[in-house]
Structure 1
Amino acid sequence: MPVSVHLVVAIVVLITGGLLTRLNLEWRPLPQPFRQSFTTRMDVIDSSFSAERCAYLHNRLLQRAIPNEATAVVERNLIARLVELSTGVARFSNPDSSPLNRFFSFLDPTSLSNSRYTSLTPDIHQPVPEAFWSDTFGHEPGVILLYGQNNADSPLDGGLFLDLHTYKVVWHWSPGPFPASDKFSREFLSRAPRPRFMNVAPGISAFSPETLYEIYPLEPDDSLRRTFSIEDLEENWFMINRRAGLYTDPDSVDWGDVRLIANSGLPTGSQFDGRCPLGPSRSPRLLEVLHHWASLVEDGTWKVDTDGVVTGNGWLDGPGQKLLTRPTVRTTKPAVLDNNLNGTDDPNHVGFLLLDPSIKRDAAAACEAIGESLISRSQIKAHTADFVSSLSYVAYAGRAQPPHLYHISDGAVAVDAHENLIFPPIPSRSIKLPVLCTQSSQKGQPGDAVATTSNQVTITSTGNTYIGYRNQKSFRFLGIPYADNPERFVHSVPYSKTKQTLNATAYAPQCPQYGAGAESCLFLNVQTPYLPKQGSKKGLRPVFFWIHGGGFVTGSAADAGTDGGNLASREDIVVVQIQYRLNTLGFLAIPGTDVTGNYGIADQINALQWVIKNIASFGGDPNQITIGGDSAGAGSVRALLGSPPANGKFQGAIAMSNLGGGVTLGLDSTYSTTYSSYLTVSESYNLAGQNIFLAAGCNQTALSEQIACLKNVPASIVSGLSSMARYVVQDGTYVNTQQLDVVNRNGSTAHVPAMFGVAHDDGSSIGATYPATPVASEVEGIQAALGISASYAQSVIDSGLFPLYDTGNITLDSFNVSARVATDSGFRCVDQATMFAAAQSGAFAASYYYEMDRAIGGYDPNLLGGAPETPGYPDGNPNLPYFRFHSGATAPFIFGNVSPIRDSNDLKAAQLNSGYFAQFVKTGQPNPSERYLTVRKYEETLHAVRQTGQWKQIKDENGPVRLLDYPSVSSGFVDVPQCAFLNYSLSYYVDGGL
């Protein structure tokens, strides 16, 4: 098994071609008391030295030298990490793959077998034995392994460590016995997991000398395990040249007698090329590597100051960017907070950061490396309820292993069987326990916290580095590019740049809309409760992929109502919000040309692809993605469910207030129709195409000239025109059918669990227009609000299905009737029919439907206002009748961002409904387990779940559906007779409706 050996180098002496060349690496010394222990020298002897040079070396190192066999002797502690600076570790870095004022974190030998492929540094990887030995490419014992970026300019960039072979008796890996039979190496590795470590400086550990002595006991009868002092080398040169390794004087425990014996001509291992653990392409020699590293310091590529390694070549020079100078600890970092979703109560709660297990003396350094400290017993006792629930959940979720003890500043903490905090003694100084660090970022609401040098966090993924920050509730990465900046009216392609350091601490510009925004807008945001150790696939959280609404003409990923921080924190999932091209720039389609439309839909699929490729580095599971959206975002979800390029890229779907229908009461279509019934390219162009050209001033005769003209019109003008394209079209690639097929289970529709639902009064925002002047009768009011004839308005009244509630204001009362009709005809009926048909056919793996009966804010073009203000309810009384608007009114109850909280049930509804939706993201069904709610102390939610019972899948014409409020109510489908009257019966799709 490869064991990482990190060389603390003060002076490198190279003897080449008979000349002694001294390369001075001027590193700042360690602080006392470690300075003496780490004064280190490496002597590298090349095989081409002359007889005179041999004589020179006689008194210093060897009595004899064998041609073509060189020897490297490294003095002092050679298990320490790489070059040491004043207060931390300066690790050798590939300057092309990582910012040079950030630090690498190497693994100790005890952790190398934890996963199949472990990342040591950005793009520098350590294969574990199974991967390594399955294809060794002629690897020899004692080879010094160098791992570098596969597209690096030099094969010499990377990390240096010694490979000592292991054997089947120690680990049983699937390829079978390993080729090495070196007992020295076998015994070293068999003992390596046991030694104690001592803290050397923040972020690094080293074996204690006593442990080294235990690892290398002298066994005179075993020549392959003999240990040496420097004076012994002349008598044991044969072994040095045959067996590179770590040796010590058995009569001394002084670190100065611990040595690495290695041949400077040994290969450093082949360069990793992404296809196998060790690619066969290039294998620079150890001497070359040392030359290269030394030259990087000499030529100013690397410089050292009190803050660490900094660059002399300006790689990070940029306006207004102050990047992290603290070491980035490569450890799992869940942010844990007992989040009740009441933002005004946040200051009364304390969270913590949970780090990977370590021994006690390393725990404080681990916290310090991320700008925090070990949490104290007094802090825990001051917030007992928070810590009982949070630590109970950590254990319940398997985030920590028995005995569920945690390091704190003054001992350990645990939760006993009676849910009491206890502070037992640590069983052993060598035991590794999870570490509880303070969480000093106490601002948790969207927009409250900003990135600072103390709260920045850095991760790497697929060749790029992302700098985000943490607040009280989550790790936040904002404005991440997921696609290259596309040409206008050209489909986007995935983001292709590598070796980039991306500042993800601020929202990106919105896509052009009504004269504002920027065409370079294909960005996404990530809020996550968990950052895994680099390369780790353990503990990845489900992902909620959110697509904003806005009628395909407006919107962005920076909406505070759909910020994912609260949802990620309370429900332990990862939330992603994306932006996509809008209006004419995102949806113009022109028949007979290469302007085929659906650019915004293609952008969404590219964002999905980015998430699949990268989200594991942010703590998300790429195999557990649920797409969701409201309004046009819900329309996007509906389109993606039937889009061939999107098929297989997600595992669940949530559509909130999807539009459709509208062909009723004498109307050929309404605004809602095209969101669920897709136009052809020609139909779309006939509605808006030439009007767009004319409004933009592109009056050329030839269509090709008009297109060329429109491509050059500023985006601010195109997006602000009164005429614009906003239609998903049947382009033959992204959308192939007029309707989503929910009648057949034939693979054309994604076979995933799906949840659709509407707001109680969606139609009060879209579909019904409040009359500009008072009306004299109900017929007049309905006719004006719905834009229908008087006879059809009368038919609504005569049906008896939409009764008038008389408040004395006939204009308001008739609008109320019209809003119900508009909600049914443009939202409710189509969505209920969709889910009923899917439940009957099995088109979806599971079908759920809801109606949201509590809302706040939202789209109010009719200026109706929200819940009325009454004494005691300055922000509105939700217990009185009010319109539950479309678009944004219900999302805060799903994302946990309700503000202001009008009454206690607002908060309880947010807790309950976010739990339903998050559980659907986690498992494809919306029912959280009572055990989960009990462990998390979500008592109000537990009460409501028990009161209402299970939210079941749709089975037949009776549903069931869930009416969401606090508590929720199980019901049958809503307004079934009304929908039949409007020609959108429950069996509309089953009966072949279009």
Structure 2
Amino acid sequence: MIKPRGIVIFLHTLIGVSGITASPAAADVDSALTILRDNDLYAQYTTKTSDGILVEAEKSFLMARKACENLGESLWSPETERFTAGLNNSLSYQKYLGKFSESQQFWVESAGAACRAIDFKGKPHILECHKKLPAICTQSAPLSNLTFIDTSPRFHITKAMGDQTLTGYRDINSWRFLGVRFSAKPQRFGYSSLYSGRGHTMAIDEPPRCLQNLNSEAVGSEDCLFLNLWTPYLPAKTIVKKDLKPVMFWLYGGGNVVGTISDPGADCGNFVARGDVVCVGINYRLGNFGWLAVDNTTITGNYALSDMVTSLKWVQKYIKYFGGDPSRVTILGESAGAAGVRALLASRMAKGLFHAAIMESQPVGWLPHRWYAEYMTIEEHTDFFRVLEAVDCTSASDKAACLRATDASSLALLSADKVANYPVIDGKYLESSGLQVTGKGFINSVPTMIGANRDESAIAIGPLPRFTNFTESLAMISGLLTQDITAAANSPAFPVPPGDPAEAVFNATVRVVSDGTIKCLGLATAYSAAKHKTLPSIYVFEFNRTYSPPNYTSALCSPPTTSEFPLGDANQEYYKCHAGEVILVFGTLLRLGLPDRDGLDIPFSQVVIDYWASFMWRYDPNPTPAYLKAKGYFNTLNQIKVSGKWKTVETKRPEFKVLQWNAPSISFSEGPQCAALGLPLNYYEAYL
């Protein structure tokens, strides 16, 4: 979409002195390219206003100027931008990476007739024009946000990958290649397969979402297996492996029935600019299209899981062309996306395709969350009987053919009790009833982070009737869960707090349900994996500061307003709801047009990204002081000094990091509570 400023730029490229030109190709520049962006997440309010594009190959002054022109830019000028307003940190970081020596100089715009370079301190030097140096170009691509994006040709870039070329574009933070196909449209109820395209493809528009029931409308397409890619770095034609970046592979949530990689709250641009990683987000099939299992021979389920594996194979084959290191892939998912991560950890089909994992708010525990993590056989699933009946395929001699012939929209709009959305034991993608954290079966053994938000269930049960009697409140929830949890009302592990009776009972109910559906077995997963050493390291977290996305929130999930903080005082008590960490992890607060409630939301988001990015780089969420100093991330450096080291889980004294401002590490909480609910730390030793 071209906004008014983009139209002006577009027309300028048509009538400029050089006439109509094709989109710049990375090969035309004949160099690795890095966007130099000191991203503090303050977007249009930042004081870090000095940006550039680093042309890393050494060239003469005139050839350096030509390289910038090929990008639609000019050589960077110290008269136009202030070196210490961000470019200093961006260059310092390149030195930290070992790309350049202390004495390195970089071509910038000339001063009069002389050819000029600067050093790492921004000091200018007049040099012979034939000398070969890397160069710094301007970076005039605008800041994009929820309502503005400029995809005009001036900011395009064309990149070769195998037998295919893709044209993407850049904004101020990253190059973006959107709607990249990773699989041809598979047969309905068929596995996806790796797509190796030929020719040229435009990759500047968001792809269709996978077909789903969105507000009682069938939205999307069955031809939806596309990925989005964000990168701060494009390698030269000859790829240098040591310069490649870690890869963040993102799986969205939505209960395996809704979701899209185009969710603006999970836009990767800020993350890759700040964390210096390459990000890939994928679409995967949803509902019956992704998870329906009828029998062991015709419709066997796990089609969405095959989409995840296929896209990981795409990453292995192609990500190097976009600056990503295929030997350092971290899979990250939230909610149902975290369940996808768990299934990939359990799948032999994914072996070797990723190297670390992060699970945020993974549903595990009581029904209906149980089947996201404890897999049933196809015979144990009853969803397909209701699906067959709903579309008049029960008596068909070839039920698979009947289902494939059914109108796609009709299949998408079936009621919730007729929609499959869980992995199954199919003998291909999943072999056992769960993730083998006790060492009794296969597991992809990689460093892992797992955690939740403190009050996960508050948003789900908030609209339900309030009770002043704890047993009655839990009885209502028992009916929804189809299991009796009322005994928790009489357990000393769950005291009803003081205060207004209805609010107090609701508070206790949120605690019980959050523990029973996400938190307890997340802790048990970490505990058993540490005890049996089935994962080489595991880090646990709990968010105690959240910011719920605008499309999934409630007043319960926002902090109370005060005269000092009219937008909300996040240091006061409020419910830390499901999905409330996503905006903070991706750093998209201002991109969405949301306010920093108390002046700490953006600094806190900086810290979270720095933790997550450190894990992707080092498999350890503790950023090194040298890295933080090189980047100029002194806010995070100071926070780490206050909060201390984030330790991997040890069974003698397991700890997790409380993620809030001035974050402490504490011993696993909710131990007595989880035991009272029948979900103790040794759950997997006892039941798996």
Report the TM-score, using the length of structure 2 for normalisation.
Answer: 0.91
Which residue pairs with 1:263 in the alignment? Answer: none
Aligned counterpart, 1:451: 151
Name the counterpart of 1:133: none
Question: Residue 657 of structure 1 is aligned with which of 343, 355, 361?
Answer: 361
Name which structure has the greater RCO, CA cutoff 8 Å, separation 6+: 2
Output the CA distance in 2 between the equivalents of 1:993 and 1:415.
62
Indicate how the Cα distance of structure 1 residues 414 and 486 shifts in structure 2: closer, same or farther if over 3 A, else same.
same
State the match for 1:395 in structure 2. 95
> Is 1:358 equivalent to 2:59 in the alignment?
yes
1:543 to 244, 247, 258: 247
SS of equivalent residue, structure 1 residue 762: coil
* Percent of paired sites with the same residue: 32
Is 1:616 aligned to residue 295 of structure 2? no
Measured in 1, the distance between the counterparts of 2:400 and 2:379 equals 16
Change over 3 Å in CA distance of 1:327–1:988 after alignment to 2: closer
For 2:634 and 2:148, the matched residues in 1 are separated by: 28
Provide the residue aligned with 1:113 in structure 2: none
> What does residue range 160-179 of structure 1 map to in structure 2 within 5 Å?
none
Match for 1:869 among 550, 555, 561?
561
Residue segments in structure 2 that go unaligned for 5+ positions in a row: 1-16
Separation in structure 1 between the aligned mates of residue 149 and residue 238 of structure 2, nearest angstrom? 28
For 2:36 and 2:24, the matched residues in 1 are separated by 23
Q: Which of 284, 293, 296 is residue 589 of structure 1 equivalent to?
A: 293
Q: Partner residue of 2:6?
A: none
- 1:524 paired residue number: 227
Classify the secondary structure of the residue corresponding to 2:448.
Answer: strand
Secondary structure of residue in 2 paired with 1:623: strand
Counterpart of 1:825 in structure 2: which amino acid?
Answer: G
Contact 1:655–1:757 (8 Å) recurs in 2: yes
Of 106, 125, 129, the residue aligned with 1:424 is: 125
> AA paired with 1:652?
A
Q: Is the 8 A contact 2:674 2:680 kept in 1?
A: yes
Q: Is the 8 A contact 2:521 2:679 kept in 1?
A: yes
Q: Is 1:916 matched with 2:619?
A: no
Structure 2 CA distance for aligned equivalents of residues 745 and 784 of structure 1: 38
- The one-letter amino acid of 1:736's match is E
Instruction: Give the corresponding residue for 1:632.
Output: 336
For residues 345-384 of structure 1, what are the structure 2 equivalents within 5 Å? 345-346=45-46, 349-355=49-55, 356-380=57-81, 382-384=82-84
Structure 1 unaligned residues grouped into runs of 5+: 1-201, 203-304, 309-321, 663-669
Q: Give the structure 1 partner of residue 505 of structure 2.
A: 814
Match of 2:406 among 713, 721, 727: 713
Confirm or deny that 1:961 pairs with 2:661.
no
Q: Give the counterpart letter for 1:466 in structure 2.
A: L
Q: Does 1:501 align with 2:200?
A: yes
TM-superposed deviation, 1:324:
5.7
Alignment partners' CA distance in 2, 1:863 and 1:655:
26
- The residue that corresponds to 2:380 in the other structure is 683
Q: Secondary structure at the match of 2:573?
A: coil
Q: Matches of residues 83-482 of structure 1 in structure 2 within 5 Å? A: 307=20, 328-346=28-46, 349-355=49-55, 356-380=57-81, 382-410=82-110, 411-415=115-119, 420-426=121-127, 428-445=128-145, 448-482=148-182
| Distance (whole Å) between structure 2 residues aligned to residue 961 and residue 806 of structure 1 | 27
SS in 2 for 1:466: strand
- Are the structure 2 counterparts of residues 348 and 960 from structure 1 closer, same or farther at C-alpha, using a change threshold of 3 Å? closer
The code of the aligned residue for 2:29 comes to V
Letter in 1 for 2:70: A
Q: 1:447–1:478: structure 2 CA closer, same or farther, 3 Å change rule? A: farther
Residues 24 and 72 of structure 2 are in contact (CA less than 8 Å); yes or no, is this contact kept in structure 1?
no
1:594-993 alignment runs, 5 A limit: 594-662=298-366, 670-684=367-381, 686=382, 688-696=383-391, 698-702=392-396, 704=398, 706-722=399-415, 723-744=418-439, 748-766=442-460, 768=461, 770-772=463-465, 774-787=466-479, 795-808=487-500, 810-858=501-549, 864-887=556-579, 889-898=580-589, 899-989=594-684, 991-993=685-687
- In structure 1, give the amino acid aligned to 2:653: N
Partner secondary structure for residue 385 of structure 1: coil
Structure 1 or 2, whichever has the larger Rg, is 1
Structure 2 letter corresponding to 1:890: E
**Is the 1:584–1:719 contact (alpha carbons within 8 Å) kept by the matching residues of 2?**
yes
Report the CA distance shift for 1:732/1:682 in structure 2 as closer, same or farther (over 3 A).
same
Within 2, Cα distance between the matches of 1:794 and 1:489?
40
Describe the shift of the 1:412–1:961 C-alpha distance in structure 2 as closer, same or farther (beyond 3 A): farther
Are the aligned partners of 1:388 and 1:415 in contact in 2 as well (CA < 8 Å)?
A: no
Q: After TM superposition, give the deviation of residue 793 of structure 1 in Å.
A: 6.0
Q: 1:470 to 1:861 in 2, by over 3 A?
A: closer
RMSD: 2.4
- Aligned equivalents of 2:561, 2:656: Cα separation in 1: 31
Q: Which amino acid aligns with 1:711?
A: R
For 2:455, give the aligned amino acid: D
- How much does 1:528 deviate? 0.3
Task: Supply the distance in 1 between the matched residues of 2:499 and 2:677 (Cα, whole angstroms).
Answer: 26
Letter in 2 for 1:593: T
1:985 is displaced (CA, Å) by: 1.0
1:328, 1:457 within 8 Å by CA — same for their partners in 2? no
In structure 1, C-alpha distance between the alignment counterparts of 2:397 and 2:482, rounded to whole Å: 42
Task: Please give the secondary structure, in 2, of the residue aligned with 1:421.
Answer: coil
User: Which residue in the other structure is 2:183 paired with?
Assistant: 483
Give the 5 Å matches for 1:553-592.
Answer: 553-592=257-296
Contact 1:783 1:789 in 2 (8 A): no
1:857 positional shift: 1.2
Q: What displacement does 1:429 show? A: 3.2
Shift of 1:433: 1.2
SS in 2 for 1:732: coil
8 Å CA contact 1:546–1:576 kept in 2: the answer is yes
Q: In the TM superposition, what whole-angstrom CA distance separates every residue of 1:702-723 from its partner, at most 9, and x where no partner exists?
A: 352x432321223222111102
Determine helix, strand or coil for the equivalent of 1:740. coil
CA contact (8 A) 2:107 2:118 kept: no
Q: Please give the alpha-carbon distance, in whole angstroms, between the structure 1 residues aligned to 2:142 and 2:484.
A: 58
Return the letter of the residue paired with 1:987: N
**TM-score, normalised on structure 1?**
0.63
Judging changes above 3 Å, is the alpha-carbon distance between structure 1 residues 383 and 445 closer, same or farther for their aligned structure 2 residues?
Answer: farther
**Is residue 393–residue 403 contact of structure 2 (8 Å, CA) maintained in 1?**
no
How far residue 752 of structure 1 moved from its aligned partner, in angstroms, is 0.9
CA gap of 1:324–1:359, structure 2 versus 1, over 3 A, is closer
Q: CA deviation at 1:348?
A: 5.8
Aligned residues: 655
Distance across 2 between alignment mates of 1:524 and 1:600: 14
Superposed CA offset, 1:471-507 (max 9, x none):
0000000000000111100111111332x21111011
- Equivalence for 1:49: none
Distance in 1 (CA, whole Å) between partners of 2:62 and 2:529 is: 58
Q: CA deviation at 1:882?
A: 1.4
Which structure is higher in helix share? 2
Q: Is the 8 A contact 2:362 2:452 kept in 1?
A: yes
Which string of whole-angstrom CA distances, capped at 9 and with x for unpartnered residues, describes residues 388-438 of structure 1?
21111121112334422110002445456xxx4311222x43322110000
Equivalent-residue separation in structure 2 for 1:363 and 1:472 (angstroms)? 21
Question: 2:298·2:400 contact (CA, 8 Å) conserved in 1?
Answer: no
Measured at CA, do residues 387 and 714 of structure 1 come closer, stay the same or move farther in structure 2, by a change above 3 Å? Answer: same
- Kept after mapping to 2: 8 A contact 1:759/1:853: yes
